Amino acid sequence: MDLNYSQDELAFRDEVRAWLEANLPRDLRDKMASYAHLSKEELLRWHKILAKKGWVAPAWPKEWGGTGWNVVQRYIFEEELGYVGAPPLIPFGLTMCAAVLLQFGTEAQKKRFLPRIYNGEDFWCQGYSEPGSGSDLASLKTKAARQGDHYVVNGQKIWTTLAHYADWIFCLVRTDPSGGKRQEGISFLLLDMKSPGITVRPLILMDGAHEVNEVFFDDVKVPAENLVFEEGKGWTVAKYLLGYERMNTGRIGESKRQLAKLKAFAAPMMKDVRFRDRLSRLEVELMALEITNLRFLDRMRRTGQPPGADVSMLKIKGTEIQQGLTELMMQAVDPAASDELSVSIRKRYLSMRKTTIYAGSNEIQRNIIAKMTLGL
**Catalytic residue IDs:** 245
Using alpha carbons, select from 281, 248, 265 the residue that is nearest to residue 359: 248
Question: Which of these, 92, 112, 90, lies nearest to 100 by C-alpha position?
Answer: 92
How wide is the angle at C-alpha 272 spanned by C-alphas 267 and 274, nearest 5°? 120
Q: Is 133 helix (H, G, I), strand (E, B) or coil?
A: strand
303-331 CB burial, b ≥16 within 10 A, e <16: eeeebebbbbbbbbbbbbbbbbbbebbbb
Please report, to the nearest 10 degrees, the dihedral formed by the alpha carbons of residues 251, 57, 54, 31 taken in order: -40
Count how many Cα atoms sit within 13 Å of the Cα of residue 87 in the half-sphere of its side chain.
27
Largest CA distance in the chain: 71
Q: How far apart are CA 325 and CA 80, in angstroms?
A: 19
Under 8 Å between Cβ of 118 and 59:
no
With b for 16 or more beta-carbon neighbours within 10 A and e for fewer, the 51-78 pattern comes to: beeebbbbbbeeebbbbebebbbbbbbb
Cα dist from 75 to 48, 251, 291, 303, whole Å: 20, 10, 12, 16
Q: Give the three-class secondary structure for 141.
A: coil
DSSP 130: B
Characterise 145 by phi-psi region: left (phi > 0), alpha (psi -120 to 50), beta (else): beta
